[in-house]
Amino acid sequence: MNALRKDLYSRFGVAKLLDRFPDLSTSPSNPGELVLAGRIDFRTSHPLCGEFDDWFTIEIRIPASFPAQFPEVRETGERIGPKFHRMADGTLCLGSPIRLRMTMAKAPTLEGFVDRCLLPYLVSFSIHQRTGKMPFDELHHGVRGLLDDYRSILDVSDDSVCVGLLHLLCLKKRVANKRLCPCSSGKRVGRCHNTSLNALRPIAPRSWFAMVLANLLALGGLERPDSTRS
């Protein structure tokens, strides 16, 4: 094991995860990343189908920048079809970028990622496969699902207001607070939606929110907010 690989193994807490899931193991990987592959077993229960056991074969590709950058996960047993919350490249869609970042901020470890992001997805699919119903709220695919989730996080009902608030997360706090709030309250942000924005600012740098906003605008063909508004 080379020095970088050994550092990632230690920093990510791989040994602890492998103790829980002994059918997972490290796999060949590119420089600067770590790959775990194999089987994840779980036992759970839900009112829709009672208590049950299940397992999936997966590959988790973990970048060296984790947890700032999310792992990519693939289901390799061909159980999960392309229509069940999968990205175009075949990786599992575990949630919107901001939702995942919020989740990882609470448990920035590999075990936290598996418990809070991956297992809920696998459990949802397993219950859906058994019952034909989704056990949790389900987002739409694509930009519609992203906007719905971001509106929920920011506690607004309008897409354009949501995009405007995301834009403000790309600005310095003291600059954003002086702008008129996109919700059309007539108030400046510092006296309006600053609580929602302040809850998100610690989870990522402004440059990350700028990337999220740029991707959202590109996906949806949405109008960029007026950055000169005062």
CATH number, domain at 118?
Answer: 3.10.110.10
Are 47 and 159 in a shared domain?
Answer: no
By CB atoms closer than 10 A (0-12, 13-18, 19+), residue 154 is buried
Are 30 and 109 in a shared domain?
Answer: yes
Report the range of poorest mean pLDDT among 5-14, 52-61, 63-72. Answer: 5-14
Number of domains in the chain: 2
Q: At what angle do helices 206-220 and 97-106 cross, to 10 degrees?
A: 150
Separation CA 101–CA 205 (nearest Å): 11
Q: What is the CA radius of gyration of the chain?
A: 20
Domain C-terminal end among 104, 131, 158:
131
Q: How confident is the model at residue 229 (pLDDT cuts 50, 70, 90)?
A: very low
Confidence at residue 221, expressed as pLDDT on a 0 to 100 scale:
64
Does some domain include residue 136? no
Phi first, then psi: give them for residue 89, nearest 5 degrees.
-85, 5
Are 117 and 8 in a shared domain?
Answer: yes
Phi first, then psi: give them for residue 219, nearest 5 degrees.
-65, -40
Are 56 and 127 in a shared domain?
Answer: yes
190 within 8 A of 178, measured Cβ to Cβ? yes
Q: What is the mean pLDDT of the chain?
A: 88
- What's the domain range around 195? 142-220
